[in-house]
C-alpha cells in the first residue's frame, strides 16, 4: 500500500511500487496534461512537482515523473498541471506569462515548463531572471527557440510578489494533510512497500537503463530516507548521507562554504529535476565511467561508508577502491552506501571541476575531470585528480596525482603532468567522441584546471 | 494576437494523439523491426510472441489484405519487410496486445533470420555504383566551362553535411477505429492527412471514401510527419482491418528515432569562379544526397537543393547536378528547409573558401553578388529581389563592420576566448515545387447563432496556422476571433489535401478560407442590403459584430443578419478552392516560374569559442527579415526564433551517428542533443524588412516557416572564423580552406581544428 496526495485527492494504492508516477497519472488517473517525450528524463515534458513535508512546511521540487517510481511518491504531495489549473478556467501567473510572451507553440512541452516555473515560484528560485531560467534547464522545447520562454521566466522573476498566487487555495492545507497521512500510517515507513527486491535512489539511472524490469520490481526507495540524507561536519570531515541529492549539496551551507564555485560546477550536471532526484550513492553504484559526482568525489579522495541493508555493521572503503572494472564494484549486493566523507577543505585548498559534452548543459560528459590541491606557498603540497570517460571506470589518476605533490605550479609541471596523465588512461571511441578526442580533451581540461586555479 | 491554442496548451488541456480517450476493446500495436541494415529475410519466428500474455495477434507481410506498399513518389517501400530488409529499423512484424507494455514485451520475443548483405551508408559509394533512386537532375544557366576560362580566381572543394533528427517532442503515432461497412477512421499525428489516407487505402485495399483521417494537432512536425506518419497509420489500419478492433500505436522515443528518417545528409563538390571585382561568374556543384533505403520525398528534397543552390546570389553561369543516392539508412525525409539549406551551405562554403584564399571577409563577396530585380535564377524565374534591401537594412541597423571590428579587438586581448562573426543572406522560394500541389480548400460554416466553424487542409503543429485561419475568417466577418472555431483537419470535410509543408499552408488554406468567407459574405450582404436599405452591397461592410453601411454603423447585428439569411433560405456555408496563380515548371527544360514569391533576409551571427575547451556560445543573431506585412507578429516572430535555433542546432551540436553497420548510435535524447535553454543565442534581434511590395501571400503576410532556419548556417561560419583566428594567432598556417567544411561543428570537431597537430599525434599514437 502506498499513500500520497495527488493534486487535491488522497490516494491509497496497491499498484506496483515500481510503476512510474507518469504511468500512474496518465493511464490510471487519466490526467493527460502530463506528456511523454522521452521516458528517460531528458526532455522534461513529464515534469511534475513533488511536495515533501520538511519542518512543518511543504517543500516543492520539480521532478521528471517518467523516472520516478511510485514508491518514491509515498507520503508526498504529487502535483500535475490539473492540480495547478484554476477551476474557473482562468490562468495562473505562470500560465499567463507563458501565453503573454508566446512561450508555447505546439504545446507538447509546455506543461513541463509551466510546472518547472511554478516550482521555481513556490520555492523562491525565481528571485532573478537567471535563476528563474535555471528552473527550466531540464525542459526541451523544439519549437520556440526558448527566447519567449526566457521572457516569460524573466517576467516571473524579481520580487516574489510577481509570482502571485501560482497555486490554488487547497495547497494551504497540504501540510496538515501530509502530517495526517503520516500519523494515520503510523510513520511514513508504513506507507511504503514492505517487500524489497531492488534498492532505488532517485531512479534516474535505473529507470533509463531497465524501465520495463523496474516497473515490475518491488523497490525499496532511498530517496527520502532522512537518516541517509544529512550533510554535516564531523571531526574535520564533511560527511554526506548516501541518499543526499545533488540539489541537497547545492543548498548545503557546509558545501557552499567549502566550494565557492559549487553552483557553477554543479550546473554542468544534468538538470534541475534530475538533480532533485539523483542521489550520491546512486551515482557511485551506477559506476558509469563518466559519473559526474563520482569524478567529483574521487578528486576529494572521498571515503565511503557501507552497511548491509537493515544491519548495524558498517565498513569504510576509499571511493577509488570501489571500482574493480567496468560496472564491477567492491561491494556485496546487500551493501548500501550510507555516506561519503572527505577532509574538510582547509587553508591552501583549491578545487576545480571540468566537464565537456556535446551540449554544455543537460548532457552526459564526453570527458569530465576534477582536481583538488592543497597549496603551500608556491608548492603543491597535496593533489588528487580524477577523470571520467577515459577508462572503463571513473579514474583516480594515481600517478599524475603523485607526480604533482611537492612540485611548483608552473608551465613545466603542467606539461609533464599532462604527459603522465595520458599514460594512465585508455579511452575508447563511442557516440560521445573518438578515443583521440577524449585524449585531447583530457589534456585540455587538465590545462583548464591550472588556468582556473593559477591562471596558467 | 496570441496563438489561439495558448490557453489550452498552458493548462494541459490540448489534445494530442496519445490523449484521445480510448474506445473499449482497443488493442495496442508494437513493431518488431530489423536489426540488420541489409539482408535477405529468410524467416520470421513469431511463436514465442504469440504465446505471450495479452497478445491477440502477430501480423507479418503475408497477412496484408491490400498491397504491401507505402511509397509515395516511387513504390519502393513495403509496409512490412518481405524478402529483404533494407535498413535497421525497418518494420517486419506487428504485435497486437491488450496493453502497450505487453505488446512491447512480446515484440522482443520475435526473431528473424536475416542473411546479411553489404551495407552502404555513404552516398558517394552508392553514387559510384550508380545506385540512384531517380535519375540525376541538373540545372544549367549559361556556360560554366567557357566562363571558368575567363575567371580571375577559381576555387574547388568539397563539403559534408550530416542529417538532423526532427525530435518533435510528440512521437509519431496513430489510432485506427473500425467504422461500419468495413471502413476505418484513423487519428494520426501527420502533416499529410491525405497522404495517410492514400497509404491506408493501399495497404488495406479500401477505397478512399471508406477511410477517414482526422488530425487535431501535432506536438511538432518539422517535416518529419509529412510522409513518415504513413507507416504507423498503415500499421494500425491493417491491424484494425484484420481484428475488427481499434488499434493504437504511439511510438516510444527510441522506436521513433531508429525507425524514422531524418534530414538528408549530403556530400557535395563545388567549383566557383570570380572575376577581379569579386563577382561570381561561374558556379558548379554536384550534390550527393543520402536518400536512405527508400524514395520517400527524396527527389523533391533534391530538387529544392537545386532551386536554392545559388542562395541569394546572381550567378550568370551555373551547372548544378544532384544525385539521389540509395543507401541502407532509414529513408530520409522532409525537414524544415527541405533540401534548401543543404544547397545554400555549399555555395556559402565556396564563398568562404574564396575569401579565405584571398584574405578578405566573405561578406565582401556576399554583398557584391546579391541578386537584383530582373536577374534570372538558374531555373529561369526572374527575381523580384529584396536581397540587397535586406542586406543594406541589416547593415544600417546592426553595423556589420563594427561587429567585426569588436570581435577583432576582443580577440587581440583574449588568449583563450575568441569571437567570430558571419553574415548569411537567405532567399527562399515559396510554393511546392511540384506545381499541382499548390491548391487548397476551406469549408466555412456560419451557424444560426452567429458562430463560425472553419475547416481547412492545414494541420496545426505549433506554427500557428489555425490562428491565422481564424484571423482570416474573423476579419472577413468583422467578428471577434472568439466567434471562430478552427476544427480538426479531416479528410471527410476537406478532401485531397496537400500536406502542411513548404511553408505554404497559411497562404494556400488562408486564401481558400478568404474565398469561402467572401462568398458567404456576399450572400449575407444581399440580405442586409434590404434590411439596412443600402443602395448597393458595395456600400456594406462588417465590423465589431455589426453591419456598416458606407462606413457608418447600422443597428443590424451580425447574429440577426445570419438568422434572417437562414430564414430566407440563404446558404450560410461555403467550400472554396484556391490554386496559386501564375506558377509553372517544366522539368524537360528545368525552367519555369515555380514560386509564387521569394522570402529574403540577412542575418549576422556572432559567437564566442572557448579555445581551451573547444566549446562555444552564440552571442547574438541579428537579422533583417522579409515578412511582407506580417498578419501576426507574435506567431511570426516565434517562427523566426524557433527556426533560427533549430538551424543553429543542426550546424553545431546535433549529430546523427550511424555506425558502419547502419545502426543508429545517437538513438535517444541522451545521445542526440538539441539546443536547450542555455545553448540558444544570448540575443536574437529581428527587424522586419521595410517594403511595400505586393505579393501572393495571404494578406501580404509572407510564409515564415522554413526561411529562418537557414540563418542558423551563419553560426557555422562564425565558429569557423573564431577557430581560424585562434589557429592563425598561434602560428598555424593550415592549408586553405581550413578547417574542412563539415557539418555539424561539434565541440569535438572544434577542438580538433584548434589543435590539429596534437589531434593528429593522438591519432597516430592510439
Out of B3, B669, B766, whose CB is closest to A42? B669
Q: How far apart are alpha carbons A50 and A4 in whole angstroms?
A: 10
Closest CA of chain B from A146, distance in Å: 6
Measured between CB atoms, does B333 come within 8 Å of chain A? no
Measured between CB atoms, does B190 come within 8 Å of chain A? no
Is B644's CB within 8 Å of A104's CB? no
Q: Match 564491477 to its residue by C-alpha cell.
A: A328
Beta strands in B678-749 (DSSP E): 683-688, 741-742
Chain A residues lying within 8 Å of B677, measured CB to CB: 133, 136-137, 139, 146, 149-150
Listing DSSP states for A320-366 in one string gives: GGSEEETTEESS-TTEEEEEEEEEPP-TTEEEEEEEE-SSSSSS--S
B78-98 pLDDT, tens digit each: 999 999 999 999 999 999 999
pLDDT in the model for residue A161:
56
Closest CA of chain B from A149, distance in Å: 9
Where is B159: in which H helix or E strand?
strand B153-161
Is B763's CB within 8 Å of A436's CB? yes
Out of B6, B19, B655, whose CB is closest to A104? B6
Mean pLDDT, rounded, for B59-77: 97
Grid cell in block for residue A301: 579522495
Residue A451's closest chain B neighbor by CA? B612
Grid cell in block for residue B331: 529513408
Contact B201, B209 (CB under 8 A): no
Contact B698, B631 (CB under 8 A): yes
Residue B167's closest chain A neighbor by CA? A142
Chain A residues lying within 8 Å of B217, measured CB to CB: 106-107
Is B638's CB within 8 Å of A95's CB? no
Out of A34, A148, A440, whose CB is closest to B638? A148
Is B167's CB within 8 Å of A441's CB? no
Which one from B212, B255, B303, B706 is the annotated catalytic residue? B706
Distances in whole angstroms, Cα of residue B356 to Cα of each of B168, B364, B368, B737: 38, 11, 16, 7
DSSP class of A20: B
What is the Rg, in whole angstroms, of the alpha carbon atoms belonging to chain B? 27
Torsion of CA A82, A83, A87, A90, to 10 degrees: -70
Helix, strand, coil proportions of chain B in percent (round to 5)? 35, 25, 40
Buried b (16+ CB within 10 A) or exposed e, B236-260: bbbbbbbbebbbbbbbbbbbbbbbb
Whether the pLDDT of residue B766 is over 60: the answer is: no
Burial of A6 (0-12, 13-18, 19+ CB in 10 A): buried
Residue B13 annotated in active site: no
Chain A residues lying within 8 Å of B251, measured CB to CB: none
Chain A residues lying within 8 Å of B642, measured CB to CB: 105, 142-145
Out of A32, A104, A357, whose CB is closest to B9? A104
pLDDT in the model for residue A195:
47
Grid cell in block for residue A341: 566523507
**Which portions of chain A are predicted below pLDDT 50?**
187-188, 190-196
Mean pLDDT, rounded, for B481-492: 98
Distances in whole angstroms, Cα of residue B254 to Cα of each of B167, B568, B675: 11, 59, 19
Buried b (16+ CB within 10 A) or exposed e, A390-406: bbbbbbbbeebbebbee
Contact A418, A447 (CB under 8 A): yes
Confidence band (pLDDT; 50, 70, 90) for B111? Answer: very high
B682-723 pLDDT, tens digit each: 999 999 999 889 999 999 999 999 999 999 999 999 999 999
Which of B12, B164, B649, B743 has the most A C-beta neighbours within 10 Å, making it the best mutation to test the interface with A?
B12
Residue B665's closest chain A neighbor by CA? A431
Q: Match 527508400 to its residue by C-alpha cell.
A: B294
Is A146's CB within 8 Å of B218's CB? no
Residue B235 CB neighbour total at 10 angstroms: 26
Q: How far apart are alpha carbons A353 and A385 in whole angstroms?
A: 10
B420-463 pLDDT, tens digit each: 999 999 999 999 999 999 999 999 999 999 999 999 999 999 99
Q: How far apart are alpha carbons B161 and B267 in whole angstroms?
A: 6
Closest CA of chain A from B579, distance in Å: 28
Per DSSP, helices labelled H in A356-397 are: none
Is A104's CB within 8 Å of B641's CB? no
Chain A residues lying within 8 Å of B670, measured CB to CB: 40, 42, 208, 364
pLDDT in the model for residue A226:
72
Is B10's CB within 8 Å of A445's CB? no
Q: How far apart are alpha carbons A75 and A184 in whole angstroms?
A: 11
Measured between CB atoms, does B555 come within 8 Å of chain A? no
Helix, strand, coil proportions of chain A in percent (round to 5)? 40, 25, 40
Chain A residues lying within 8 Å of B14, measured CB to CB: 107
Residue B11's closest chain A neighbor by CA? A85
Model confidence pTM above 0.90: yes
Out of B11, B461, B463, whose CB is closest to A85? B11
Is B170's CB within 8 Å of A106's CB? yes
Torsion of CA B355, B361, B363, B365, to 10 degrees: -30
Confidence band (pLDDT; 50, 70, 90) for B735? Answer: confident
Measured between CB atoms, does B485 come within 8 Å of chain A? no
* Residue B358: alpha-carbon gap to chain centroid: 36
Measured between CB atoms, does B12 come within 8 Å of chain A? yes
| Partners of B116 in beta bridges | B39
Confidence band (pLDDT; 50, 70, 90) for B99? Answer: very high
Is B677's CB within 8 Å of A133's CB? yes
Listing DSSP states for A50-92 in one string gives: EEEEETTEEEEEEEEGGG-BGGGGTTSEEE-GGGTS-TTS---
Q: Are strands A335-343 and B540-543 parallel, antiparallel or unpaired?
A: unpaired
Mean residue pLDDT across chain B? 97
Query: Which stretch of A382-396, B14-28, B126-140, B749-763 has the lowest confidence by average pLDDT?
Result: B749-763
Per DSSP, helices labelled H in A267-328 are: 272-277, 280-286, 292-298
* Residue B430: alpha-carbon gap to chain centroid: 13
Mean pLDDT, rounded, for B413-423: 97
Out of B645, B684, B766, whose CB is closest to A439? B766
Distances in whole angstroms, Cα of residue B741 to Cα of each of B278, B308, B674, B712: 21, 19, 21, 15
Is B170's CB within 8 Å of A215's CB? no
Percent of chain B with pLDDT over 90: 97
Contact B630, B700 (CB under 8 A): no
Burial of A224 (0-12, 13-18, 19+ CB in 10 A): buried
Mean residue pLDDT across chain A? 92
Q: How far apart are alpha carbons B645 and B683 in whole angstroms?
A: 11
Residue B419 CB neighbour total at 10 angstroms: 22
Is A433's CB within 8 Å of B748's CB? yes
What is the complex's ipTM, to 2 decimals? 0.97
Is B677's CB within 8 Å of A137's CB? yes
Length of chain B: 766
Which of A22, A103, A359, A421 has the most B C-beta neighbours within 10 Å, making it the best mutation to test the interface with B?
A359
CB < 8 Å from A in window 132-171 of B: 166-171
Which of B634, B676, B684 has the most A C-beta neighbours within 10 Å, making it the best mutation to test the interface with A?
B676
Chain B residues lying within 8 Å of A432, measured CB to CB: 671
Measured between CB atoms, does B612 come within 8 Å of chain A? yes
pLDDT in the model for residue A223:
64
Where is B27: in which H helix or E strand?
strand B27-33
Chain A residues lying within 8 Å of B605, measured CB to CB: none
Grid cell in block for residue A117: 516555473
pLDDT in the model for residue A253:
96
| Helix-then-strand count for chain B, H and E | 20, 30
B306-355 pLDDT, tens digit each: 999 999 999 999 999 999 999 999 999 999 999 999 999 999 999 999 99
Longest CA–CA separation in chain A, Å: 70
Q: Match 581551451 to its residue by C-alpha cell.
A: B612
Contact B651, B717 (CB under 8 A): no
Grid cell in block for residue B211: 477511410
Grid cell in block for residue B123: 552516398
Mean pLDDT, rounded, for B162-176: 98
Percent of chain B with pLDDT over 70: 99
Q: List all residues 6 or more positions away from B718 whose beta carbon is below 8 Å from its beta carbon.
A: B420, B421, B422, B605, B606, B607, B618
Q: List all residues 6 or more positions away from A313 whose beta carbon is below 8 Å from its beta carbon.
A: A307
Grid cell in block for residue B526: 444581399
pLDDT in the model for residue A389:
98
Residue B160 CB neighbour total at 10 angstroms: 16
Q: How far apart are alpha carbons A6 and A21 in whole angstroms?
A: 10
Mean pLDDT, rounded, for B724-731: 95
Residue A32's closest chain B neighbor by CA? B19
Chain A residues lying within 8 Å of B466, measured CB to CB: none
Grid cell in block for residue B293: 533505403
Out of A110, A354, A359, whose CB is closest to B676? A359
DSSP class of A25: I
pLDDT in the model for residue B52:
98
Contact A292, A368 (CB under 8 A): yes
Q: Which 3 state secondary structure label does DSSP give A297?
A: helix
Q: Which of B65, B37, B51, B39 is nearest to B95 (CA)?
A: B51
Mean pLDDT, rounded, for B51-77: 97
Q: In what side-by-side order are the strands of the sheet with B39-45?
A: B84-85, B39-45, B111-116
Give the phi and the psi of residue B269 in degrees, each rounded to 5: -115, 145
Closest CA of chain A from B190, distance in Å: 13
Q: Are strands B91-97 and B173-179 parallel, antiparallel or unpaired?
A: unpaired
Closest CA of chain B from A142, distance in Å: 6
Amino acid at each position: 500500500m502506498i499513500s500520497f496526495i495527488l493534486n487535491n485527492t488522497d490516494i491509497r494504492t496497491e499498484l506496483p511500487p515500481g510503476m512510474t508516477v507518469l504511468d500512474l497519472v496518465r493511464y490510471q488517473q487519466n490526467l493527460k496534461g502530463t506528456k511523454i517525450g522521452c521516458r528517460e528524463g531528458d526532455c522534461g515534458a513529464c515534469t511534475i512537482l513533488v511536495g515533501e513535508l520538511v519542518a512543518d512546511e511543504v517543500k516543492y521540487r520539480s521532478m521528471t515523473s517518467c523516472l520516478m517510481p511510485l514508491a518514491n511518491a509515498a507520503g508526498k504531495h504529487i502535483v500535475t498541471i490539473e492540480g495547478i489549473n484554476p477551476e474557473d478556467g482562468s490562468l495562473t501567473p505562470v500560465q499567463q506569462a507563458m501565453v503573454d510572451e508566446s512561450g508555447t507553440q505546439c504545446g507538447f512541452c509546455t506543461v513541463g515548463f509551466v510546472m518547472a516555473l511554478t516550482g521555481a515560484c513556490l520555492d523562491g528560485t525565481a528571485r532573478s531572471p537567471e535563476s528563474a531560467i535555471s528552473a527550466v534547464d531540464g525542459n526541451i522545447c523544439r519549437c520556440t527557440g526558448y527566447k519567449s520562454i526566457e521572457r516569460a521566466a524573466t517576467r516571473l522573476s524579481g520580487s516574489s510578489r510577481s509570482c502571485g498566487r501560482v497555486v490554488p487555495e487547497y495547497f494551504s492545507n497540504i501540510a496538515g494533510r501530509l502530517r495526517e497521512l503520516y500519523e494515520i500510517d503510523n510513520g511514513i515507513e508504513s506507507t511504503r512497500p514492505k517487500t524489497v527486491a531492488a534498492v532505488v535512489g532517485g531512479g534516474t539511472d535505473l529507470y533509463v537503463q531497465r524501465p520495463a524490469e523496474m516497473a515490475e520490481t518491488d523497490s525499496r526507495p532511498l530517496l527520502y530516507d532522512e537518516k541517509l540524507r544529512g550533510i554535516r561536519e564531523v571531526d574535520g570531515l564533511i560527511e554526506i548521507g548516501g541518499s543526499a541529492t545533488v540539489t541537497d549539496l547545492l543548498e548545503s551551507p557546509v558545501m557552499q562554504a567549502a566550494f565557492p564555485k559549487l553552483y557553477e560546477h554543479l550546473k554542468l550536471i544534468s538538470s534541475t529535476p534530475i538533480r532533485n532526484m539523483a542521489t550520491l550513492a546512486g551515482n557511485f553504484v551506477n559506476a558509469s565511467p563518466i559519473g559526474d559526482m563520482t569524478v567529483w568525489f574521487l578528486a576529494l579522495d572521498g571515503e565511503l561508508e557501507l552497511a548491509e541493508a537493515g544491519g548495524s555493521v558498517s565498513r569504510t572503503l576509499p571511493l577509488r577502491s570501489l571500482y574493480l572494472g567496468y560496472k564491477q564494484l567492491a561491494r556485496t549486493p546487500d551493501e548500501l552506501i550510507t555516506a561519503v566523507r572527505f577532509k574538510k577543505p582547509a587553508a591552501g585548498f583549491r578545487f576545480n571541476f571540468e566537464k565537456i559534452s556535446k551540449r554544455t548543459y543537460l548532457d552526459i560528459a564526453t570527458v569530465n575531470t576534477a582536481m583538488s590541491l592543497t597549496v603551500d606557498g608556491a608548492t603543491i603540497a597535496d593533489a588528487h585528480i580524477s577523470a571520467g570517460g577515459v577508462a572503463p571506470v571513473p579514474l583516480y589518476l594515481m600517478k599524475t596525482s603523485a607526480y604533482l605533490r611537492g612540485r611548483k605550479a608552473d608551465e613545466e609541471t603542467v606539461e609533464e603532468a599532462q604527459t603522465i596523465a595520458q599514460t594512465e588512461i585508455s579511452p575508447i571511441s563511442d557516440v560521445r567522441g573518438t578515443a583521440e578526442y577524449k585524449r585531447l580533451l583530457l589534456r585540455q581540461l587538465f590545462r583548464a584546471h591550472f588556468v582556473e586555479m593559477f591562471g596558467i | 494576437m496570441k496563438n489561439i491554442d495558448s490557453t489550452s496548451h498552458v493548462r494541459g488541456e490540448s489534445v494530442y494523439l496519445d490523449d484521445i480517450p480510448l474506445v473499449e476493446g482497443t488493442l495496442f500495436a508494437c513493431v518488431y523491426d530489423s536489426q540488420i541494415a541489409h539482408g535477405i529475410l529468410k524467416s520470421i519466428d513469431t511463436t514465442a510472441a504469440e504465446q505471450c500474455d495479452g497478445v491477440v495477434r502477430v501480423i507479418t507481410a503475408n497477412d496484408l489484405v491490400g498491397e504491401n506498399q507505402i511509397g509515395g513518389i516511387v513504390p519502393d517501400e513495403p509496409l512490412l519487410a518481405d524478402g529483404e530488409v533494407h535498413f535497421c529499423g525497418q518494420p517486419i512484424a506487428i504485435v497486437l496486445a491488450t496493453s502497450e507494455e505487453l505488446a512491447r514485451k512480446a515484440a522482443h520475443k520475435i526473431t528473424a533470420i536475416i542473411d546479411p548483405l553489404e551495407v552502404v551508408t555513404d552516398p558517394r559509394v552508392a553514387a559510384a555504383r550508380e545506385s540512384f533512386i531517380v535519375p540525376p537532375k541538373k540545372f544549367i544557366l549559361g556556360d560554366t566551362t567557357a566562363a571558368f576560362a575567363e575567371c580571375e580566381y577559381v576555387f574547388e572543394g568539397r563539403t559534408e553535411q550530416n542529417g538532423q533528427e526532427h525530435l518533435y517532442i510528440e512521437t509519431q503515432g496513430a489510432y485506427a477505429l473500425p467504422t461500419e461497412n468495413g471502413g476505418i477512421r484513423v487519428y494520426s499525428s501527420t502533416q499529410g492527412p491525405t497522404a495517410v489516407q492514400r497509404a491506408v487505402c493501399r495497404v488495406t485495399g479500401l477505397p478512399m471514401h471508406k477511410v477517414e483521417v482526422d488530425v487535431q494537432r501535432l506536438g511538432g512536425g518539422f517535416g518529419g510527419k509529412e510522409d513518415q506518419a504513413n507507416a504507423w497509420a498503415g500499421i494500425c489500419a491493417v491491424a484494425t482491418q484484420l481484428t475488427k478492433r481499434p488499434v493504437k500505436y504511439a511510438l516510444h522515443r527510441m522506436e521513433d528515432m531508429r525507425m524514422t528518417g531524418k534530414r538528408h545528409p549530403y556530400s557535395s563538390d563545388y567549383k566557383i569562379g570570380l572575376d577581379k571585382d569579386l563577382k561570381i561568374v561561374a558556379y558548379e556543384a554536384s550534390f550527393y544526397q543520402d536518400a536512405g533505403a527508400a524514395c520517400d520525398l527524396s527527389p523533391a528534397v533534391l530538387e529544392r537543393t537545386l532551386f536554392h543552390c545559388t542562395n541569394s546570389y546572381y550567378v550568370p553561369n551555373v551547372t548544378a547536378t544532384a544525385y539521389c543516392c540509395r543507401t541502407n539508412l532509414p529513408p530520409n525525409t522532409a525537414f524544415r528547409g527541405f533540401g534548401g539549406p543543404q544547397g545554400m551551405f555549399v555555395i556559402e562554403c565556396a564563398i568562404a573558401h574564396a575569401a579565405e584564399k584571398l584574405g578578405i571577409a566573405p561578406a565582401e563577396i556576399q554583398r557584391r553578388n546579391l541578386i537584383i530585380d530582373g536577374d534570372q535564377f538558374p531555373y529561369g524565374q526572374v527575381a523580384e529581389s529584396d536581397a540587397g534591401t535586406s542586406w543594406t537594412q541589416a547593415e544600417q541597423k546592426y553595423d556589420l563592420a563594427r561587429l567585426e571590428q569588436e570581435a577583432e579587438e576582443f580577440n587581440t586581448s583574449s588568449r583563450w576566448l575568441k569571437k567570430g562573426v558571419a553574415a548569411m543572406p537567405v532567399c527562399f522560394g515559396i510554393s511546392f515545387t511540384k506545381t499541382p500541389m499548390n491548391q487548397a480548400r476551406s469549408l466555412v460554416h456560419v451557424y444560426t447563432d452567429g458562430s463560425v466553424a472553419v475547416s481547412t487542409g492545414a494541420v496545426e503543429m505549433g506554427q500557428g496556422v489555425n490562428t491565422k485561419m481564424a484571423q482570416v475568417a474573423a476579419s472577413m466577418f468583422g467578428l471577434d476571433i472568439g466567434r471562430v472555431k478552427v476544427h480538426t483537419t479531416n479528410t471527410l470535410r476537406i478532401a485531397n489535401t496537400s500536406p502542411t509543408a513548404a511553408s505554404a499552408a497559411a497562404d494556400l488554406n488562408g486564401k481558400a478560407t478568404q474565398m469561402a468567407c467572401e462568398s458567404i459574405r456576399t450572400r449575407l450582404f444581399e440580405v442586409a442590403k434590404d434590411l439596412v436599405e443600402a443602395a448597393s452591397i458595395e456600400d456594406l461592410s462588417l465590423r465589431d459584430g455589426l453591419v456598416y453601411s458606407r462606413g457608418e454603423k447600422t443597428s443590424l447585428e451580425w447574429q440577426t443578419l445570419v438568422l434572417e439569411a437562414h430564414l430566407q433560405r440563404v446558404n450560410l456555408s461555403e467550400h472554396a478552392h484556391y490554386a496559386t496563380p501564375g506558377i509553372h515548371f517544366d522539368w524537360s527544360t528545368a525552367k519555369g516560374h515555380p514560386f509564387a514569391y521569394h522570402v529574403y533576409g540577412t542575418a549576422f551571427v556572432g559567437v564566442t569559442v572557448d579555445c581551451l575547451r573547444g566549446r562555444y556560445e552564440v552571442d547574438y543573431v541579428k537579422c533583417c527579415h522579409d515578412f511582407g506585412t506580417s498578419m501576426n507578429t507574435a506567431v511570426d516572430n516565434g517562427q523566426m526564433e524557433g527556426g533560427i535555433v533549430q538551424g543553429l542546432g543542426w550546424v553545431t551540436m546535433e549529430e546523427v551517428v550511424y555506425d558502419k553497420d547502419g545502426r543508429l548510435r545517437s538513438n535517444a535524447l541522451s545521445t542526440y542533443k538539441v539546443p536547450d535553454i542555455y545553448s540558444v543565442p544570448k540575443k536574437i534581434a529581428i527587424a522586419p524588412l521595410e517594403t511595400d511590395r505586393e505579393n501572393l501571400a495571404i494578406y501580404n503576410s509572407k510564409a515564415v516557416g522554413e526561411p529562418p532556419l537557414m540563418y542558423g548556417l551563419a553560426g557555422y561560419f562564425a565558429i569557423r572564423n573564431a577557430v581560424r583566428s585562434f589557429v592563425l594567432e598561434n602560428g598555424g598556417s593550415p592549408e586553405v580552406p581550413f578547417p574542412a567544411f563539415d557539418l555539424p561543428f561539434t565541440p569535438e570537431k572544434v577542438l580538433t581544428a584548434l589543435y590539429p597537430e596534437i589531434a593528429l599525434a593522438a591519432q597516430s599514437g592510439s
